[in-house]
Amino acid sequence: MIKNKMRKRDGELLQASTILFCLNILASGLNYFCQLVMARVLSVESYGTVNTIFSFMMIIAVPGTTLTMLVAKYYAGDNFNLGKRSYLKQQIKNVCILTAFVAIILFCFQNFLFKVLSINDSIVLIMTIILASFGYFQPLYSGVFSGKKCFILVGIYSLFIPIYKLLAIGGAYLFSEEDKLRLYVVLGLMILGVVITAIYGHIKAYRIIESDKEKLKGKEHIYTREDINILFLNMSLMLYMNIDLLSVRYYGNETESGLYSAVLLFGRIIYYFSTTLGTVLLPSVADGALTYKERKRTLNKAIVLMIAFAAVSMIPINLFKNFFIEILYGVEYLQASKYVIYVSIISLSLSLYTIMVNYVVGVGKTKKPVVVLLIVDLLLAISVFLLHDITLILFTISAIGILGAGAIYVIANVYKGEEN
């Protein structure tokens, strides 16, 4: 009976992963196509600027990533004391407050952002702040879809981002031949895309949640200590995901960041796969009826799939890196080949982080993983500040990532259901 239940659960995990993976492959394909077209439409310098903006947005979006996990876990469980619709209304209110707060803070620290992001154009910086501030709605609604196990809808919703990026690039190409104006159009149309994506998510989220008259209780807290831990986990995850490109931008120049951004796409292949597994893994292990052994078995299966996919995709890329770079980007990007090995290792570490963070969030055991990732963050910060050589920084990031991912895996397997 137990074996049949486990087989059924494994089958559901595999089926959901397959459907979502196919949709994510389509989204990733569009995203790759966007990057390739953008590399051709924009100069190497502007291409580096756009990708630096994307990295900055991902760091600022950490609360949104956390929100996805919290909302997914809430709707995947069976404790609806706060009310399904009431919970969503409260979260939307919180996102609106967060959006306004982040926008004000970023506008107050414009001079600091000019220096850190190496952006010298005030219009570009203002558009960057708007994009970063309004990026919290999409993660909220993705969490609803994931928690309700509407994985096809999760995949469809993920298509919105590359689609509006592609439309923005196409609009920039048609609008002007001047590089700076094209950059303005790309960012402007992306802002419009973010708004449309939020509106669509809002409509669909309310449609899939049953009518619920239960109100939030006055003394109930919508966020807990566990939620704070999840926020720290996602902060660490996004820091590791973007610190390489930001370091190249800060210690190098616009051209170097453009070159690195190009090969960074190779590493994103395995990262996109890990996000697919993580999206399915979190609600799968959040089920309170599962035993520790069943959860551990699900985690190990996800990790094996991740490593196998990484090997199949990254080995050929490393062996024939010059060929792939020249075909996809052109000869002017061939100097980027020196970064491929670092991108491969960092992306593998990041992918393992993503899977295991989703796992510990799903099982509600985040205290010790937070400590480990805070140590990783400290080591990363020390390395970036002390080392000024780009190659040495990337090597150190790779090494720290492997050690950190290994530590989280050990902790995830040592946990046998103890409370934090």
Q: What is the 3-state secondary structure (H, E, C) of 167-218?
A: HHHHHHHHHCCCHHHHHHHHHHHHHHHHHHHHHHHHHHHHHHCCCCCCCCCC
Is the residue at 339 inside a domain? yes
Number of independent structural domains in the chain: 1
Evaluate whether 197 touches 163 at the Cβ level (below 8 Å). Answer: no
* Separation in Å, CA 14 to CA 82, 254, 284, 383: 32, 42, 11, 39
Evaluate whether 226 touches 366 at the Cβ level (below 8 Å). Answer: yes
| Parts of the chain with a pLDDT under 50 | 2, 211-212, 214-220, 417-420
Q: CA-CA distance, 413 to 417, in Å (whole number)?
A: 10
Alpha helices in 209-291 (DSSP H): 225-251, 254-285
Q: In sequence order, which residues have a C-beta less than 8 Å from that of residue 217 and are 6 or more positions away?
A: 81, 82
* pTM score over 0.85: no
pLDDT for 177: 79
pLDDT for 301: 79
Is the residue at 420 inside a domain? no
pLDDT for 12: 58
Backbone angles phi, psi at 252, to 5 degrees: -105, -125
Is the residue at 148 inside a domain? yes
- Farthest CA pair distance, the chain: 67
pLDDT for 31: 79
Is the residue at 71 inside a domain? yes
Is the residue at 419 inside a domain? no
Is the residue at 25 inside a domain? yes
pLDDT for 175: 80
Q: What is the pLDDT of residues 76-115, one digit of tens each?
A: 765 555 567 777 888 888 889 988 998 898 888 888 888 7
pLDDT for 223: 61
Indicate if the alpha-carbon torsion angle 193, 195, 199, 205 is positive or negative.
Answer: positive
In Å, how far from its chain's centre is CA 204?
22
Q: CA-CA distance, 120 to 123, in Å (whole number)?
A: 9
Which residue shows structure tokens 């993580």? Answer: 278
pLDDT for 14: 60
Is the residue at 260 inside a domain? yes
Determine the 3-state secondary structure of 223 from DSSP. coil
Is the residue at 398 inside a domain? yes
Note down the domain range covering 369.
2-414
